[in-house]
Amino acid sequence: MLEVKDLHVTVEGSEILKGLSLTVNAGEVHAIMGPNGAGKSTLSAVIAGKDGYEVTAGSITFEGRDVLEMEIEERAQAGLLLGFQYPVEIPGVKNIYLLKAALNAQRAARGEGEIPAPEFMKLIKEKVAFMKMDTSFLQRAVNEGFSGGEKKRNEILQMLVLQPRLAMLDEIDSGLDIDAMRVVADGVNSLRAEDRGILLVTHYQRLLDFVVPDKVHVLVDGRIVKSGDAGLARELEARGYEWLLEETAA
Amino acid sequence: MASQEMEQLVRRDYKEGFVTDIESDTVPPGLDESTIAFISNKKGEPEWMLEWRLKAYHQWLKMTPPSWAHLDYPAIDYQAISYYSAPKRPEDRPQSLDEVDPKLLETYEKLGIPLHERAALAGVAVDAVFDSVSVATTFKEKLHEAGVIFCSISEAIREYPELVKQYLGTVVPQGDNYFAALNSAVFTDGSFVFVPEGVTCPMELSTYFRINAANTGQFERTLIICESRAQVSYLEGCTAPMRDENQLHAAVVELVALEDAYIKYSTVQNWYPGDEDGKGGIYNFVTKRGDCRGDRSRISWTQVETGSAITWKYPSCVLRGRDSIGEFYSVAVTNGRQQADTGTKMIHIGEGTRSYIVSKGISAGRANQSYRGLVKVGPRAKNARNFTQCDSLLIGDRCGAHTFPYQEIGNSSATVEHEATTSKIGEDQLFYCQSRGISEEDAVSMIVNGFCKDVFQELPMEFAVEAEALLNVTLEGAVG
The arrangement of strands across the sheet holding B298-305 comes to B133-137, B125-130, B205-210, B231-239, B262-270, B298-305, B325-334, B354-363, B385-394, B415-424
Give residue ranges of A with CB < 8 Å to any B CB: 48-51, 71-73, 75-77, 81-82, 84, 87-88, 90-93, 97-98, 101-102, 105-106, 109, 141, 158, 162
| Nearest alpha-carbon partner for B56 in B192, B207, B250 | B250
CA A128-B453-A84 angle, 5° bins: 45
Contact (CB, 8 A) for B307 and B471: no
Facing residue for A72 by CB, picked from B435, B446, B452: B435
Span A59-86, average pLDDT? 95
Tell me if residue B381 falls in helix, strand or coil: coil
Chain A: residue nearest B440 by CA?
A73
Lowest-confidence region among A82-86, B224-228, B458-462: B458-462
Q: How many CB pairs under 8 A join A and B?
A: 82
Q: Is A62 helix (H, G, I), strand (E, B) or coil?
A: strand
Of A230 and B226, more confident? B226
Mean pLDDT within B309-316:
91
Query: How far is the C-alpha of A17 from the C-alpha of A22, rounded, in Å?
Result: 12
- Whether B1 shows a pLDDT value over 50: the answer reads no
Residues A58 and A55: their CA atoms lie apart, in Å, by 7
- Helices (H), ranges, B131-266: 140-146, 153-159, 161-167, 178-186
The 10s digit of each residue's pLDDT in B49-65 is: 999 999 999 999 999 99
Question: Is the pLDDT higher at B118 or at B339?
Answer: B339
Q: Which whole number is the average pLDDT over B229-251?
A: 73
CB contact under 8 A, B453 and A101: no
Contact A98/B429, CB-based, under 8 Å?
A: no
Identify which has the larger pLDDT, B35 or A203. B35
Is the predicted pLDDT of residue B45 greater than 70, yes or no? Answer: yes
* Chain A, nearest residue to B452 by Cα: A92
Q: Is the pLDDT of residue B331 over 50?
A: yes
Which of A71, A90, A109 is facing B450, going by the closest CB pair?
A90
Give the pLDDT mean for B330-342.
Answer: 87
Paired residues of B403 in beta bridges: B371
Per-residue exposure over A156-170, b if at least 16 CB sit within 10 Å of its own CB, e if not: bbbbbbbebbbbbbb
Decide if A91 and B451 are in contact by the 8 Å CB cutoff.
yes
∠ at Cα B399 (B396, B400), nearest 5°? Answer: 130
The continuous run of DSSP H or E covering A45 comes out as helix A40-48
Closest chain B residue to A163 measured between Cα atoms?
A: B436
Query: CATH number, domain at A121?
Result: 3.40.50.300
Residue B439's closest chain A neighbor by CA? A73
* pLDDT tens column, A26-69: 999 999 998 888 888 899 999 999 989 999 999 999 999 999 99
The reported pLDDT for the residue numbered B102 is 57
CA distances from residue B307 to A69, B73, B85, B103, B270 in whole angstroms, order as listed: 37, 16, 22, 24, 4
Rounded-to-integer distance, Cα B123 and Cα B207, Å: 13
pLDDT at B217: 52
Q: Structural domain of residue A203, as residue ranges?
A: 2-249
Nearest CA in chain A to B445: A93
B384: closest CA of chain A, how far (Å):
29
pLDDT at B5: 43
Least confident of A7-11, A101-105, B167-171, B303-307: B303-307
Give the pLDDT confidence score for residue B25 in this predicted structure. 65
- In degrees and rounded to multiples of 5, residue A191 shows phi and psi of -80, -20
* Identity of the residue numbered A236: L
- Write down how long chain B is: 480
Q: Average pLDDT for residues B118-128, to the nearest whole number?
A: 38
Look at residue B473 in the predicted model and tell me its pLDDT.
63
Question: Measuring CA to CA, how many Å separate B283 from each of A126, B75, B304, B390?
Answer: 54, 11, 16, 24
* Cβ <8 Å between B438 and A141: no
Residue B302's pLDDT is 93
Q: Above pLDDT 70, what percent of chain A?
A: 99
pTM of the model: 0.77
Total domain count for chain A? Answer: 1
> Average model confidence (pLDDT) for chain B?
80
Least Cα separation, residue A213 to chain B (angstroms): 24
Give the mean model confidence (pLDDT) for residues A219-237.
90
Asked whether the predicted pLDDT for residue B289 surpasses 70, the reply is yes
C-alpha to C-alpha distance for B82 and B213, rounded to whole angstroms: 10
Place B185 in a pLDDT band, splitting at 50, 70 and 90: very high
Buried b (16+ CB within 10 A) or exposed e, B462-477: bbbebbbebbbbbbbb
Q: Which of A51, A72, A93 sits opposite B446 (nearest CB)?
A: A93
Q: Are B1 and B428 in contact (CB under 8 A)?
A: no
Average pLDDT (A212-238) is 91
Residue B199 in this model has a pLDDT that exceeds 70:
yes
Helix (H, G, I), strand (E, B) or coil at A141: strand
